[in-house]
Structures are given as C-alpha cells and as structure tokens.
Amino acid sequence: MDKRIDILKEEIKKKLNTTTDLAELDRVRVAMLGKKGAITALLKGMKDLNGEERKTFGAEVNRLKAYAAEKIDAKVNELNEKAIEIEIGLMPVFDVTTPPALERGSYHPITLSQRQCEAVFRSMGFTVEDYPEVVTDYECFESVNIPKHHPARDMQDTYYLENGQLLKSQTSAAQNAILRKYGKNLIENGVPIKAIFPGRCFRNEATDACHENTFFQMEGMMVDKDISISNLIYFMKTMLSEVFRRDIKVRLRPGFFPFVEPGFELDINCEICGGAGCPSCKHSGWLELCPCGMIHPNVLREGGIDPDKYTGFAFGLGLTRLAMMKYGVKDIRDLNSGNLKSLSQFTDDEN
Amino acid sequence: MFLSMNWISDFVDFTGLDKVDYIHKFSLATAEVENEIFFKGSDISGIVVAEIKSVEPHPDSKKLHLLKVDAGEAELTDVVCGAPNVRVGMKTAFAKVGAKIGEIEIAPRPLAGFMSCGMCCSEAEIGISDDNSGIMDITDDVANGTDLKDIYEIDDIIFEVDNKSLTNRPDLWGHYGIAREFAALTGRPLKPLDTADLEAYNALQKVDMKIEDPLCQRYSCLQVENIKRSVSPVNMRIRLFYCGMRGINFLADLTNYLMLEMGQPMHAFDSRKVGKIRIKRFDQPFVFRTLDGVDRKIDENTLMICNDNTPVAIAGIMGGLDSEIVEDTTTLTLESATFDAASIRKSTVRLAHRTDASMRYEKSLDPEMTVPAIARFLYLLQQYDGGVQVVSALTDEYAYHYPQVDLTFDKAFVDRYTGIEISSDTIVKTLESLGFAVSLNGDDFDVKVPSWRATKDVTMKADIIEEITRIYGYDNFDINTTRSPLYPVREDAVKSNEDKIKDILVKRYNLHEVHSYVWAYADEQKALGIPVEENIKLANATNPNIETIRRTMIPTQLCQVKTNVGYAPEFGIFEIGRVVEGVDSDNLCIEHKKLAVTLYSKTADIRDLYFRLRDMLAVIADDLKHLPLDYRTAEPAHSYEHPVNLNTVLLDGKTIGTLGIVHPVVSRKIDKKSSIVFAEIDMDAFASVKNASISYEEPSKFPPMDYDISVIVPTGVFFRDLKKCWENEGGGILKSTRIVDTYDTEHFHSVTIRFEFSSAERTLSSGEVQEIMNRVIENLKAIDVNLR
C-alpha cells in the first residue's frame, strides 16, 4: 500500500478534528477533493502504473476519496446543526400576552344591520334597490294609495321642499318605481318581483333620545301569481329568524296602512323576557316590530300590474330601530352625530 | 279610547267566557289594545248604603261633625266626618269597619277625641268620579246596608284602544260597534239596541230645518221639552267616568253617553235660540264664540249650523255659547247629523281645535246612524225622565247617500289570497256576524256591505279578505313558502360599489364610517367660517339651522371632524350620502349620491396626508375598475377648498370628483395645528364607468432588467409630463416605471425612476435597453428634465 494514502487519511482526520467553521472545512474539501487537490493528484498520477498495480491503487484511492467525502459531509452537518442550535439559543422569548395593536376602522352600525338584513334577503333571491331621498308627492303618497287629504298624510310630518318635492317620509316611495322596473319581466316572463329597498327617511319632528328626523327603513316586497297571507307569514317568520339568529315567533294584528290590504302590525316574541313580560316589551311579551300586509290593489294597478292576476306582500323594517335594539344604543341622536367615541366601536359584526 | 266591558256586555252575553281573554283576542283581530287593563272596583269592598240619622257639630272643630249613621245594622254607628254636605236623612256611601279602599282597611279609630267607626265616602274616594267636594249623595231608593256594588256598576273591566288603530273604522267609535266585534269573536249574537218609536210623533209639526250646503250629508233633529232631571243616573255617570268623561248634567251626559255608545255625536240647542236651522258656509270670515268661551276665527270653508243667518254651532266640532242649554231652557232641539269628513278634518286643523265629536266625524261616520241615534236618545231620556215630551216630528234631510257597496267574489279568490283553506260556511258565518249580508251560490259569494262599513272602509274584494282572516285568526294560519320559480338576481352596480368602497376604507385604511344630515348645518358651519351655499330649502323647516339642503357633504364632514378633535391625533372619516345640486329645467332636484372622505392629522405632514388620500382613491379605482385615476388642476368652487393642490379626479376620462386640502381659514378654526384633506366622489359617475377586466400576462421565463435614472424635475413639471417621454418608447419590453426615491434640496427636486424591462421571448441585451433609455433621456431633456 502506498504510504501516501495513509498520510492523507491521517491528515484528513487531523484537520477535521481541529476545524470549527464551515469556511475552513470548505478549504479542506478543496485541498483534498478539488481539481488540484491531493486526492485528485493521486488519481492523476495513476496513469504511470501498470495494469494490476493501477487496479489496486485505484481502488485504494477511491476508498480514500469516499472516506474524505463522507467525513467532510458529516462534519458539515455537525457544524450546521451546531449553528442552528446557537441560533435557536439566541432567540428571545416574546411576551405574547401584551395588548395587541388593534387600530381599526369602523362601519356605521346602520351599515352593519343593513348588511345583515340584505344578506338574508339576497339569499332568498331578493334584489337590493337604491332610491333617491328627494322624491315627488306622487312617488311618496299618490302612487301608494295615499291621495291628497288622506288622514295618513297627517300621521307623517313630511319635510317639503320649496319646489314642491319632499324628503321621502317612507321607503314606500320606491314601490311604484320598482313595480314598474320589474313589472314587465313579471308579466312577460313570469319572473316574480322580489326586492328590498333600504333607505334614509325623514320626518319633520323634534328630536330627542327616541326621536330623529332622519332615520333608516328597509322595505321589501314580493309580487307574483298566488302570493298569499300564508306566504307573507312564512317569509316574515323565516327572514326575521335569520336576521335575529333565533327561532322567532311572529304574531299578526290588523294594522291600517294605506298601501296594504289587509294590513298588519307584526309583533315578535320578546327575547329579553322570553315572553313573560318586561319593560322592553311593555310587559306584553311581544315587541311591535314591523308593519306589513298584502299590497293594496290600487298600488299594484298604479305600478302597471293587474291586481286580479297578481298579488303580493310588502313589509317595512325600521333599520335604525333594529340597530339600536341590536347594539343597545340608547340615544338615537348618537347615530348621526359623527362622534367617533361612539361610532368607532362598530368594527364589524358577522352575526 | 277607553271601553267598558259592562257596557259591551249590554249587547253581548259573555256568560261562561273569560272577558280578558276576549279583550286579547280583540287586540289581535280588530284594533290594538293597550297593555294595561283596568279592573275597576277590584280594590274596593265593604262599602254600603247608610243613612245619616243625626248630625252634631264637633265641639272643637268647625269642619268636623259627629254623625250617627244607619248602615243596616241593629245599632247606629258613630262616625266623625269632615264633609261639608252632611245632613240628616241623607243616604251616602259608607265604608264599614273592615271595608277596604285601595290599600286602606277601615278600622275604628279616635278622631279629634271621638271614636269613628267607619268612613263616609266621596265619589272620588270610591273611584267612580272625580267629585271630592263632599260625601256621595245617594238619591236612589235603596235599603240601608245594601252593598254599593249590588246597586251600582262599580266593578268593571276597562281597556284602552289606541285611537290610531281605529282611523279607518268609523263604526268602532262607540261601544255598540265594538260589541259587534266581540259578538263575531265569541260567535254569540249582538243584541239590538232598545229605541223609542219615532213614528209615533209623525203627526207633530216638523222643525224648520234646511241643508244649504253639500258638506252636510244628513241632518236629523227632534224637539223635546219638560226635562226635569238634572243629575244623571249613577251607573251612567260611572260608565262615562270610567271611559274618561266628566259628568256635567243629565242632558250633556246623555249626549256624551250616546256618542260613546253609538259613536254618533249629538248636540242639544235651546229651541228659543234655534228656531230656523240652516246649515251653510259664510262668504266672509267672522269670529264665533264656542261654548267653552273661546272666540274662534271662522273662515269661508268652515261649515256652520245657523239659526237662519246667525251661526249657532261649528258643524261637527262644537256648539256656540249663545245657543247652549241654560237653566231656564224649556224646549230643546236635538241634533244628530253627518258631515263631509275631509271638511271637518280640515276645519279642525284650521281651528286647531279637535273635539270628541270632530274626531269621530273625521272618520266618515255612517249617515244611516243619525235617526237610530235620536231614537235611542229618546228611549234613554224616557227611561230616566218619565215626564219628557216630544214636541216635533222627526225632521230629517238626507242629502248625501253613500252608494251601497256590493261585492262579488268566489271561493278561489279567498283561497288564493289566504293561501289556506277556510270553508265557505266559515266565510258566510264570519261575514254575517259582522253585519254583512251574504248569499252563497255554489262557490260564488254576493256580499252586501253594511252601511257602517261602506263609508270608506270596505270598498273592494281585498277588504273582505281582511274581515274573514282577522276573525279566523292569524295565529290559526298554516304558513307556507311560495311556489314562485327561481331566477338569478343581479346586484345593482352603485350598491355593489358602495359596499366594496366601505370595505376598502374600513378594512384597509382604518377609516370610520359616519352618518350625517342631508341639510347644511348653518350654525356649526358658521363657526367654521363655511357659509351655507345657496340651494333649495325646506319649505316647512321648524329650525332655521337646518333649512338649506347641502350641495356638498364636505362642510358637514368638517363639522364632524371638529366634533372629533381630541378623539385621536389622527383619524379619517367617510360617508356615502346625498347632496342636491340645485334644480333642473323641470324644477326637480338634482340629487347625487356622494362618497365624502376627510382625513385629519396632527402628526402627519400635509403632503403625506394628501398622498394617503390620493392613494386610497387610486386603490378604490384599481380594485373596483382596474383603471387608473387621472387628475386635473381645479379652481376652487367652495369656500373650504385650498386653492393649491385642488384636483378634479377623472376615471376613464370622466369627472368623478374632487381631491383637495382644506382651506387654512377653515382648518385653523377646526384645529390650529393640524392637516386636513378631503375628497368627494360622485357614486353614480363612478359606477357608470365600466370596469376593465384583469389583463393577465404570463410571467416571463427570462430575467428582467432594471434601469434607474435620477433626474432633476423643475417646478411645474408633473410626473404625467415625464411619462409622456417614455410612453411611446418602450418597444414592448418596458413593463413598468416607478419612483424609487426622491431627494429634495433647497435648489432642486430630484426623483429616481426605475424602469423595469422584460420580455417573454428572450433574454434582453443591455444594448437594446440602453438604446431605449437613451431616447427617453433625450425626450426628458427636451422638457428640461435633466439627469442629476
């Protein structure tokens, strides 16, 4: 056996024992296994040997080469592991329990309530309609069966503008336009009208913690052949159960609203007391929630729809009241105040 | 309106039924009953009739008397009494020892040195009137010791119906109409009203009466005399009091009683003052004194009852002082009439005087009721005052007949409307119980609407549905979903943009959504030095501070910024709301939906704040439309706009809004050391721009190449000018440019622009990139932008 092999082997052993960093190790690898390395030189020198010798010597050198590669790799791994251990040891422990930086924007509580309602109605195939705030007498009253001198006009103190238009006192102002917008599709293609129309409404009245001259309603309607009172109750119960995320009990009482016949006041069972009676429900166990009813034939007719062929229901939800109930807002005036101390709390609400 | 179950029970037999239960049913079927039900008399017991046998003055008190009363017991009872009206022989209400009045239990007790074994009670103490002037004076012939509740209707159940829920039901403004509803609900018959036979007086002379105005629909009257009675029967007074009316005198009480019973207002004139009844309006306004002593201005639209040409009453509202019944009145004329409802309503509004009568007339009373009301009145009068004499024939002019309402429909109509099965038999029974005449032929119904429902309430088939279903009970409905076919629903662009913009501003930029009013805040704006801009006004605003509709939302928002100074050193608010920009050629308001955003900061540099807002807008445009925004320098149009850096914002070449800085005059008033920027975007204009689709580009497999240049940009040259220098030079390989650094000294403003080149087909050579860049640099030089 060639002494050179043993010498090199010893040298590798020695160097690997003393090497402590990866750069030095790389130099060892180059010195042994590189193009001009010692082991590579041995292999190059083999061309002078004869057949048998060359075969034996070649095998020896190759073993040495494999040995060197294996030892160096092992040392690389060892050093890498050590380096990672050191890195881990250097990582400080963070205090995960410190208060989080929660700076966030906020939605208006009406937006949150409105979105929840809209989601429920969209899921049942209703379109969401937008409508102006300044409307004509025809839109707000005449077209929804409230002719001039109708006592119902007294029930709503309307803000009139100098040009005879008015700030809509009820979302019903959109009914006629929606009936006309979708009526053709109903009559020609049998596509039922299913729409909700949230909007801001105005009443000329003094404001206090419970009264606002500017507030939000959301009205909805469905028109098709054979829409019945039974359907109305079904929809109201289903939708309100979704909106309130509980199984709602509904109760209908006759109510007089010119745009519906029959008209109803819809009550829901009081959640606060479970029906036993409490101050919130004035000890009745029921909360008056929304007016609803079968769309008055005159309203359908005015919207270009034949009331002998089609029927429909309509309902109105007080979005402002809903938001106040939901979030426990006590003073209605907070909603239009722009006061961020109150409004910034409504970051989002998935429920 | 308060209602008495005793009164209702005159007409419906409740034997074996729970009255309270039926009050709840009434609330669900007819009209809203207020939650509190009053159990009158339930807190009173042990009150008996007692006769005062002797009255001695109290030795030490001027007020007190020592009485011996006969309470129907073996011995007389000693009572110390402070009432002024005690007299021997008087019968009164006496609370015996052990009696209860509210929380008080009567016990023997010494009073000013003498034992008092009971208490003589006033009507107010028993709760049957508000008369507390003395003890009750019982004039009825009843035995001493009789429990008061055995002779008087002290026990009663009173419930209140919300008047608003009766707006459309003229027939429910009296107990009889209410009783009809209870009859329908219980399924028991409604007893007829006892009335006098008016035909018996046909031979007498008629009253001189003439309707001279179409606003009077019917006028019926009758003259009577020799009314001796002045105090009403106790039970009548109790009913009136429980229903919220004060007892006055027998005649006045009786007209009130009749109104509460039948819903028909009546009036009694002194026949000496009213001999020639004419119903008309006057051409000239004048002053008229009503019986409450108030002078009221009467105009040419107000219908009057007159004695020839002298007005004696405001029709349907109130009588006049001069024609009132007085002590020496011997003959009186009873009026029972109906008038045009809208006219009465308008008159009450003009006079600002609403009475129990006008409240009823406003609802369109049934003219068929005037004569039965007189017949009933006379019946009651004769019951309580035997000597009364009728001295005229019934005089009746029926000028306006409501048309008889007949409705026909079939069973299928009811089925379709209700969505449930209600049998024909039930339909017939229900309608008949409510007074409708029904004939059923196979599946076809012919219905005659009773007069009291036909004045406005029931006019069409859909009204019949309500009658059937409310009595059937909505709680008894099977509830079913619809069988309507399903179709896709597409969301409105404005609405969907609105939702997304809110999400971006809240979730990405931490802004706060606010709401505000649609009118300018005059006072608050004044404090900020922002005059209210001329615009359309509210015609009937009660508060001058909220009179003018806003043209822009920014002043409102600045007021809200002011509110929030101190909330945080930095915040941003936004709202999607409405403005009106004057009126169009048809004199209709030009309404726009706007997004308004305001950023306030005490810490940020105005430039940073401005760019923060600009970038928000850019992100909105990019997110929703995949399009860039463009800007055009604008001239200030509003007082709050800073003249520098005011920009019109354009999207796809269309003006969509404004971006600017708040004028220092205003911002200093909000907060001296702060920066405030604003933007207002027209939502409709924004929504009208069609969104570009995402243009996907396969990532290049070849390495990109960046080329940075630093140039000095002279004042007045904008980045968009620089852009023009390479817009047409990119040769398909210049993919993007961006500013990677800016460097400012006193003398120059320098920016470093990175040009990013890449090709999908090949590795780029530095030569071809250099060639492009040389041309770009040449172009830049041409506009005086040189390499640093």
pLDDT by residue for chain A (351 residues), tens only, comes to 568 888 888 888 888 888 888 888 888 888 888 888 888 888 888 777 888 888 888 888 888 889 888 988 999 999 899 989 999 999 999 999 999 888 899 999 999 999 999 999 999 999 999 999 999 999 999 999 998 877 667 656 899 999 999 999 999 999 999 999 999 999 999 999 999 999 999 998 888 988 999 999 999 999 999 999 999 999 999 989 988 888 989 999 998 888 999 999 999 988 878 778 888 787 888 888 899 999 999 999 999 999 999 999 999 999 999 999 889 899 999 999 999 999 999 998 875
Longest distance between any two alpha carbons in chain B, whole Å: 136
Confidence at residue A156, expressed as pLDDT on a 0 to 100 scale: 61
Cβ–Cβ of A251/B474 closer than 8 Å?
yes
Q: How close, in Å, is residue B176 to chain A by CA atoms? A: 20
Q: Quick one: B259 and B359 in the same domain?
A: yes
Residue of B557, B558, B518, B516 whose CA lies nearest to B538: B518
Q: Quick one: B229 and B321 in the same domain?
A: yes
Confidence at residue A155, expressed as pLDDT on a 0 to 100 scale: 58
Instruction: Give the CB-side neighbour count of residue B461, counting CA atoms within 13 A.
Output: 18
The total number of residues shown for chain B amounts to 788
Asked if residue B751 has pLDDT above 90, the reply is yes
Cβ–Cβ of A294/B587 closer than 8 Å?
no
Residue of B338, B308, B337 whose CA lies nearest to B323: B308
In a domain? residue B741: yes
Confidence at residue B740, expressed as pLDDT on a 0 to 100 scale: 94
Asked if residue B594 has pLDDT above 80, the reply is yes
Name the residue in chain A with its Cα closest to that of B560: A338
Q: Quick one: B684 and B597 in the same domain?
A: yes
Cβ–Cβ of A162/B559 closer than 8 Å?
no
Cα three-residue angle A13-A14-A18, rounded to 5 degrees? 115
Q: Quick one: B667 and B522 in the same domain?
A: yes
In a domain? residue B553: yes
Residue of A295, A316, A297 whose CA lies nearest to A193: A295
Distance between CA atoms of residues B560 and B662, nearest Å: 14
Q: Quick one: B240 and B318 in the same domain?
A: yes
Q: Which helix (H) or strand (E) covers residue B557, if one does?
A: helix B554-564
First to last CA, chain B: 90
Q: How close, in Å, is residue A96 to chain B by CA atoms? A: 24
Confidence at residue A1, expressed as pLDDT on a 0 to 100 scale: 53
Asked if residue B658 has pLDDT above 70, the reply is yes
Confidence at residue A128, expressed as pLDDT on a 0 to 100 scale: 94
Mutation target for A interface from B168, B408, B515: give the one with most A CBs within 10 A.
B515
Q: Are B526 and B666 in contact (CB under 8 A)?
A: no
Q: Are B681 and B674 in contact (CB under 8 A)?
A: no
Q: Quick one: B225 and B265 in the same domain?
A: yes
Q: What is the CATH number of the domain that holds B111?
A: 2.40.50.140
Put simply, whether B495 touches A (Cβ < 8 Å) is yes
First to last CA, chain A: 84
Cβ–Cβ of B469/A262 closer than 8 Å?
yes
% of chain B beyond a pLDDT of 70: 100
Structure ipTM over 0.95, yes or no: no
Q: How close, in Å, is residue A338 to chain B by CA atoms? A: 5
Give the residues across from A208 on adjacent strands.
Answer: A211
Query: Which residues in chain B are closer than 8 Å to A115, comparing Cβ atoms?
Result: 499
In a domain? residue B481: no
The token pair that represents A97 in the structure block: 């329990």
Cβ–Cβ of A261/B462 closer than 8 Å?
yes
Q: What is the mean pLDDT of residues B263-268?
A: 96
Instruction: Give the CB-side neighbour count of residue B124, counting CA atoms within 13 A.
Output: 8
Confidence at residue B143, expressed as pLDDT on a 0 to 100 scale: 95
- Which pLDDT tens digit goes with each residue over B121-165? 999 999 999 999 999 999 999 999 999 999 999 999 999 999 988
Q: What is the CATH number of the domain that holds B418?
A: 3.30.56.10
Nearest to A165 among B460, B477, B589 (CB): B589
Distance between CA atoms of residues B355 and B377, nearest Å: 21
In a domain? residue B487: no
- How many CB atoms are located within 10 Å of the residue B195 CB? 16
Collect all residues with Cβ–Cβ distance below 8 Å to B556 and sequence separation of at least 6.
B516, B517, B520, B521, B550, B596
- Which pLDDT tens digit goes with each residue over A243-266? 888 898 999 999 888 899 999 999
Put simply, whether B421 touches A (Cβ < 8 Å) is no
Confidence at residue A20, expressed as pLDDT on a 0 to 100 scale: 84
Asked if residue B491 has pLDDT above 90, the reply is no
Put simply, whether B310 touches A (Cβ < 8 Å) is no
Asked if residue B3 has pLDDT above 80, the reply is yes
Q: Quick one: B392 and B497 in the same domain?
A: no
Q: Quick one: B394 and B421 in the same domain?
A: no
Query: Which residues in chain B are closer than 8 Å to A222, comparing Cβ atoms?
Result: 482, 484
Question: What's the mean pLDDT when you consider all of chain B?
Answer: 94
Residue of B36, B11, B263 whose CA lies nearest to B162: B36
The CATH code of domain A109-343 reads 3.30.930.10
Longest distance between any two alpha carbons in chain A, whole Å: 127
Q: What is the mean pLDDT of residues B554-574?
A: 96
Chain B residues 343-362 within an 8 A CB cutoff of chain A: 345-346, 362
**Number of Cβ pairs closer than 8 Å across A and B?**
236
Nearest to B514 among A163, A262, A343 (CB): A343
Collect all residues with Cβ–Cβ distance below 8 Å to B670 and sequence separation of at least 6.
B528, B558, B561, B562, B565, B600, B662, B676
Q: What is the mean pLDDT of residues B101-119?
A: 92
For B116, the domain range is 44-154
Asked if residue B447 has pLDDT above 90, the reply is yes
Confidence at residue B377, expressed as pLDDT on a 0 to 100 scale: 97
The token pair that represents B137 in the structure block: 């004076």
Reported pTM = 0.85
Q: What is the CATH number of the domain that holds B611?
A: 3.30.930.10
Collect all residues with Cβ–Cβ distance below 8 Å to B303 and sequence separation of at least 6.
B213, B215, B216, B279, B280, B281, B314, B315, B316, B339, B340, B343, B344, B347
- How many CB atoms are located within 10 Å of the residue B770 CB? 11
The token pair that represents B687 in the structure block: 């929504």
Strands B570-583 and B512-513: parallel
Cβ–Cβ of A344/B512 closer than 8 Å?
yes
Distances (CA, A) of B689 to B44, B334, B655: 77, 74, 10
Q: How close, in Å, is residue A8 to chain B by CA atoms? A: 45
Name the residue in chain A with its Cα closest to that of B35: A284
CA A216 to chain centroid? 22
SS3 labels along A259-310 = CEEEEEEEEEECCCCCCCCCHHHCCCCEEEEEEEEEECHHHHHHCCCCCCCC
Nearest to B537 among A162, A256, A263 (CB): A162
Tell me the pLDDT band of B695, cut-offs 50, 70 and 90. confident
Q: Quick one: B237 and B362 in the same domain?
A: yes
Mutation target for B interface from A103, A160, A161: give the one with most B CBs within 10 A.
A161
Mutation target for A interface from B482, B536, B594: give the one with most A CBs within 10 A.
B482
Chain B residues 569-588 within an 8 A CB cutoff of chain A: 571-573, 575, 578, 580, 583, 587-588
> DSSP assignment of A86-129, as one string?
HHHHHPPPP-TTSPP-----B--HHHHHHHHHHHHHHHTT-EE-
Contacts of the segment A178-182: beta carbons below 8 A, 24+ positions apart = A178/A129, A178/A221, A178/A303, A179/A223, A179/A299, A179/A300, A179/A302, A179/A303, A179/A304, A179/A305, A180/A303, A180/A304
Query: Which residues in chain B are closer than 8 Å to A283, comparing Cβ atoms?
Result: 35
Last residue of a domain, one of B345, B364, B398: B398
Query: Which residues in chain A are closer than 8 Å to B480, comparing Cβ atoms?
Result: 228, 230-231, 234
Strands B705-712 and A250-254: unpaired
Domain count, chain B: 6
Cβ–Cβ of A133/B578 closer than 8 Å?
yes
In a domain? residue B695: no
Q: Quick one: B380 and B521 in the same domain?
A: no
Query: Which residues in chain A are closer than 8 Å to B362, comparing Cβ atoms?
Result: 151
Q: Quick one: B545 and B453 in the same domain?
A: no
